[in-house]
Structure 1
């Protein structure tokens, strides 16, 4: 038996104002997207914004459905739209923000497991890490230099 230790390194900023101007701008786009979320069931609004290497910013928000599995998270809404509209562009940075309609969300909210897998697909496809920044409605911002920090044992196409 061999034991393997997996470590993750994340950067934590006390507030969005402590990040670079380009990240502040990207997060503002994520907040605009969050404000367009359709979440009548969970009352949990999420927005995502992705910076592409062609300079375009693609955003998405969570869209719920009474048939719960039919809804889609903000991250996947944005990443699939980016892949469909700009299939040759590389995704450089992603900003995420989440806010409960029931209480102030101060804790940084990372992507769910399904979204991590979707982001991993594109990170592997483009052979380039995607920086991920996530926060609640306000407060601390967490930066991951790559999805691999959030999902270190990624399932990808080379195993199929």
Structure 2
């Protein structure tokens, strides 16, 4: 390959914001509690303790066989349930809502005429609304690492996120 062409080539390095740059495992319990609050007050209109108990039971079931559960978007598996703390939280909520007829009906009534199926809309809503309330806890040396990647002449770092970018 011509050296002139080689010098212009840049490798795109895709970096996930939540979990790669941030310590989501330190914030997932807080995110789950915020989801319980939102579900109990806005969507399901039941006691938060009931939501928390159902969540914990569902999470135990998933962790016993994580390979059987995936994060679904419009019914299509996007990744396995245990690929990150926030993913496990989302999969747990999806499974809990979809397997309980009362919960599913409440979600369908609350989220109608939107872009995705009601369960996906609900988990997206819970994640976006509540993750925006959490200040990111960055992993050690993230800033220095990103600076080095940006400075490298043959690397183009791209940060991807499912979070709402107006809060990042």
TM bin, normalised by shorter chain, reads under 0.3
Q: TM-score, normalised by structure 2?
A: 0.25
More strand by share: 1
Tell which structure's C-alpha radius of gyration is larger: 2
Task: Choose between structure 1 and 2 for higher RCO, CA contacts under 8 A separated by at least 6 residues.
Answer: 2
More helix by share: 2
